[in-house]
């Protein structure tokens, strides 16, 4: 019994051993047996498919205002539009907008001038368009102009454009409108975009934008370089820039941002050409004997703190510092009448703004209030030396001036009915100008002290009626102002001009539409400007009685106009856009030089754009753009005895191709042809400021081309 039993046990034991061996083989060997790769490393285990529990969604009410709710002519250029446009710089994009007039005297990024609602009246007066970059003012303290070469399109996330006075919220300089540029932050997984362009006139530009997020930190940096010989002789332009941004979001309720940058550029200026010189020397020539140049270095630091103290209450602080050094020379090397003027200007600006925003509905109706302050400080130090037949051995100027502006403001938006939004605002600004200007000439030395304390009260009121979900009508009243800038207050020769701030009362009605296929804005405005600052060629010197051409206040100037902008996508592969601006700016009252009824120079009565995008197979995109500009007086003239600058148009075409390569890489190619029909025109021209003489023209580039490549990695 035992033996069989033993045998049975032996058999069972053999079976159990066999099963054990089988188990071991199945457990450890099966996987390996199936692997044909002799590599002893085990393969990575397959990830089991995940089951979806279904979509969850968090929704909140947008704190940012809807374009349709704003009682004003507002448009936004987003990143998608920037990329498909193929545009080289911000002003080129702004040309497509209604209400803005863009001109460029020498064709370089620094030569642009952008104005809104009829303030492009030339001469020595400053800009009336406020430009902000991430909330920081870009207008220069001495001239109020904007150096557009400081804003690079590769760095831009979106551009918000508000036409008409915005002083009730933004204060000084927001007279014709506000352009707010928001830069990209590079958030998310590590990402980088490398871009390069090459074009006519030895143009070459390259940029790198890289960013990443890690935990609560998001950082990015941007670097670029640009060089071009320019369309005209002696219009070389070189620049480079570096900027960085770091954001820390420690929790759900606060965010702190620090950004900084450095920019340097050097440009030669070709001067103007008379028609005879254009005929003899060609459109690309430089002004004979002229050897003007300019260089600028700029550094800036800015911060942004946002703290949500309650779900619907936010505190915001935006401090900044900016330093700019300009040096340059206006040289006329004509042996018969040599003239040399050189200058160095150092400008330091710092300040900040703070505001508390409350976005809390009352009884279910929209209610948003803002209470804030702003402080600005500008210090300008300029030295100059001029030598000429009248200034031998030389005339010197030494200007050291300061300006502080304190402001307080309050804004309120309240929906009095579900589709009716009432908005109102008030801002008070007070400025202190101080400093002195010392000028020394062979005739003597003059010391002038600057001491002024202008103030401005800027109310606004608006009513928006959103009578359809995607359509709104509005009416608004706004008051704008601009304090005289330092260049207007103090001439290069050290003379002080007793100028008042210019102020406007503006009324506007408009219609806006936003839908998947059609976006449109239509606005009618009427703006009376009191004491508009104007470089008046007809002002007589009070002592000697000759024409002295200087900045003065025109008692009343009327700006009236119509602005139409549309973007229509009738088909998935077709997008059409266009804009039209009628801008009639006339002097209504001018007891000093009797210019009543005259239209302001350099501002065309009509201008517009039209264009299309075709979204073609295989990821090709084709764009066509036409820019049309009507007749306008040359600067320092009102059409008396001098022909206006004629109507011109330009046509541009863009072909772009974008192709993903793998999961993380995208390559883009771009080819552009500008001024396709090779139009011969001048965007800008001017009569001499002093005395008589032929008109000087600034010939614009002829037909030119550029190509580019972009590599994006994410």
Partner 1 sequence: MTARAYAAALLMLLAAGPASSDGPSSQHEARAPAVDLAPTGPSVESRLAEIRRRIQAALEYPPIARWQDLQGDALVRFEIGAEGRARDVRVVRSSGVPLLDAAAARAVVAAGELPRVYGPLEVPVSFELATR
Residues that bind partner 1 (CB under 8 A): 9, 12-13, 16-17, 19-20, 22-24, 26-28, 30-31, 45-64, 66, 69, 187-189, 213, 215-216, 218, 249, 252-255, 306, 308, 311, 314, 357, 366, 415
The conformation of residue 27, written as its DSSP 8-state character, comes to I
String of b and e for 345-369 (b: at least 16 CB within 10 Å)? bbbbbbbbbebebebeeeeeebbbe
549: left (phi over 0), alpha (psi -120 to 50) or beta: left
CB of 374 to partner 1, least distance (A): 20
Task: Find, among 704, 617, 670, 563, the residue nearest to 87 by Cα.
Answer: 670
Give min distance, CB of 402 to partner 1, in A: 35
In the numeric block, which tokens belong to residue 64?
């940012």
Closest approach, Cβ 612 to partner 1, in A, equals 29
Q: Pick the closer one to partner 1 by CB: 51 or 544.
A: 51
On whether the CB atoms of residues 156 and 677 are closer than 8 A, the answer is: no
Q: Which is nearer to partner 1, 204 or 253 (CB)?
A: 253
**Residue 295 or 306 having the CB closest to partner 1:** 306
Give whichever of 191 and 458 is closer to partner 1, judged by the CB atom.
191
CB of 661 to partner 1, least distance (A): 20
Q: At its nearest, how many Å lie between partner 1 and the CB of residue 28?
A: 7
Closest-CA residue to 536 (of 517, 557, 520, 516): 557
Q: What is the DSSP letter of 149?
A: G
Smallest separation, CB 9 to partner 1 (Å): 8
User: Which H, E and C letters describe 465-527, residue by residue?
Assistant: EEEECCEEEEEEEEEEEECCCHHHHECCCCCECCCCCEEEEEEEEEEEEECCCEEEEEEEEEE
Name the residue with tokens 């500009």.
629
**Smallest separation, CB 251 to partner 1 (Å):** 8
d(CA 208, CA 191): 11
From the list 142, 129, 136, 127, the residue with the least C-alpha distance to 403 is: 142
Residue 70 or 554 with smaller CB distance to partner 1: 70
Nearer to partner 1, 69 or 374 (CB): 69
> Nearer Cβ to partner 1, position 75 or 682?
75
How many Å apart are CA 259 and CA 301, to the nearest integer? 6
CB of 536 to partner 1, least distance (A): 45
Residue nearer to partner 1 on the CB measure, 76 or 592: 76
Q: Which residue's CB is nearer to partner 1, number 159 or number 450? A: 159
- What distance in Å separates the CA atoms of residue 137 and residue 489, rounded to the nearest whole number? 20
Q: How far is the CB of 60 from partner 1 (least distance, A)?
A: 4
186, 210 Cβ separation under 8 angstroms: yes
∠ Cα 129 135 139 (to 5°):
35
């Amino acid at each position: 019994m035992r033996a069989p039993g033993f045998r049975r046990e032996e058999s069972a034991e053999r079976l159990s051993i066999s099963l054990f061996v089988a188990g071991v083989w199945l457990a450890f060997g099966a996987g390996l047996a199936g692997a044909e790769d002799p590599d002893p490393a085990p393969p990575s285990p397959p990830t089991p498919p995940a089951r979806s529990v279904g979509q969850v969604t968090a929704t909140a009410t947008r704190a940012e205002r809807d374009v349709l709710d704003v009682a004003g002519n507002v448009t936004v250029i987003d990143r998608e539009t920037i990329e498909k446009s193929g545009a080289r710089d911000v002003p080129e994009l702004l040309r497509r907008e209604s209400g803005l007039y863009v001109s460029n005297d020498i064709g370089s990024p620094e030569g642009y001038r952008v104005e809104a609602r009829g303030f492009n009246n030339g001469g020595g007066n400053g800009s009336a368009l406020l430009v902000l970059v991430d909330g920081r003012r870009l207008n220069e303290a001495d001239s109020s102009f904007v150096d557009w070469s400081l804003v690079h399109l590769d760095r831009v996330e979106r551009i918000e454009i508000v036409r008409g006075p915005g002083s009730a919220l933004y204060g000084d300089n927001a007279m014709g409108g506000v352009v707010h540029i928001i830069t990209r932050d590079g958030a998310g997984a590590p990402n980088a975009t490398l871009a390069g362009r090459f074009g006519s006139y030895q143009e070459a530009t390259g940029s790198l934008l890289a960013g990443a997020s890690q935990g609560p930190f998001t950082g990015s940096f941007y670097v670029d370089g640009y060089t071009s010989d320019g369309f005209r002789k002696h219009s070389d332009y070189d620049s480079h820039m570096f900027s960085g941004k770091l954001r820390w979001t420690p929790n759900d309720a606060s965010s702190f941002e620090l950004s900084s940058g450095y920019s340097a550029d050097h440009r030669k200026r070709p001067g103007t050409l008379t028609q005879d010189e254009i005929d003899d020397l060609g459109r690309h020539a430089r002004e004979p004997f002229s050897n003007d140049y300019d260089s600028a270095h700029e550094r800036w630091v800015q911060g942004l703190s946002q703290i949500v103290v309650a779900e619907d209450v936010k505190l915001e602080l935006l401090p900044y510092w900016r330093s700019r050094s300009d040096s340059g020379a206006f040289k006329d090397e004509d042996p018969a009448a040599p003239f040399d003027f050189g200058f160095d200007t150092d400008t330091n600006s710092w300040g900040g703004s703070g505001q508390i925003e409350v976005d809390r509905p009352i009884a279910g109706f929209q209610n948003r209030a803002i209470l804030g302050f702003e402080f600005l400080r500008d210090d300008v130090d300029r030295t100059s030396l001029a030598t000429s037949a009248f200034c031998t051995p030389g005339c010197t100027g030494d200007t050291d001036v300061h300006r502080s502006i304190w402001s307080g403001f309050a804004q309120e938006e309240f929906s009095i009915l579900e589709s009716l939004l009432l908005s109102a605002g008030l801002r008070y600004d007070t400025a202190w100008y101080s400093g002195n200007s010392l000028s020394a000439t062979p005739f003597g030395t003059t010391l002038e002290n600057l001491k002024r304390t202008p103030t401005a009260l800027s109310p606004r009121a608006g009513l928006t009626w959103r009578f359809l979900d995607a359509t709104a009508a509005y009416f608004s009243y706004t008051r704008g102002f601009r304090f005289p800038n330092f260049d207007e207050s103090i001439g290069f020769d050290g003379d002080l001009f007793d100028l008042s701030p210019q102020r406007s009362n503006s009324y506007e009605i408009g219609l806006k539409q936003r839908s998947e296929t059609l976006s449109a804005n239509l606005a009618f405005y009427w703006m009376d400007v009191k004491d508009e600052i104007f470089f008046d060629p007809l002002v007589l010197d009070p002592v000697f009685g000759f024409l002295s051409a200087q900045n003065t206040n025109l008692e009343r100037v009327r700006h009236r106009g119509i602005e139409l902008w549309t973007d229509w996508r009738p088909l998935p592969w077709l997008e059409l856009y266009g804009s039209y601006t009628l801008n009639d700016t006339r002097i209504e009252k001018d007891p000093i030089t009797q210019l009543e009824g005259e239209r302001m120079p350099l501002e065309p009565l009509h201008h517009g754009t039209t264009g299309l995008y075709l979204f073609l197979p295989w990821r090709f995109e084709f764009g066509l753009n036409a820019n049309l500009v009507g007749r306008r007086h040359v600067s320092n003239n009102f059409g008396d005895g001098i022909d206006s600058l004629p109507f011109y148009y330009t046509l541009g075409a863009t072909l772009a191709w974008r192709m993903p390569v793998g999961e993380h890489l995208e390559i883009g190619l771009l080819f552009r042809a500008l001024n396709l029909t090779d139009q011969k025109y001048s965007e800008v021209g001017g009569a001499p400021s002093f005395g008589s003489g032929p008109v000087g023209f600034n010939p614009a580039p002829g037909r030119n081309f550029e190509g580019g490549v972009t590599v994006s990695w994410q």
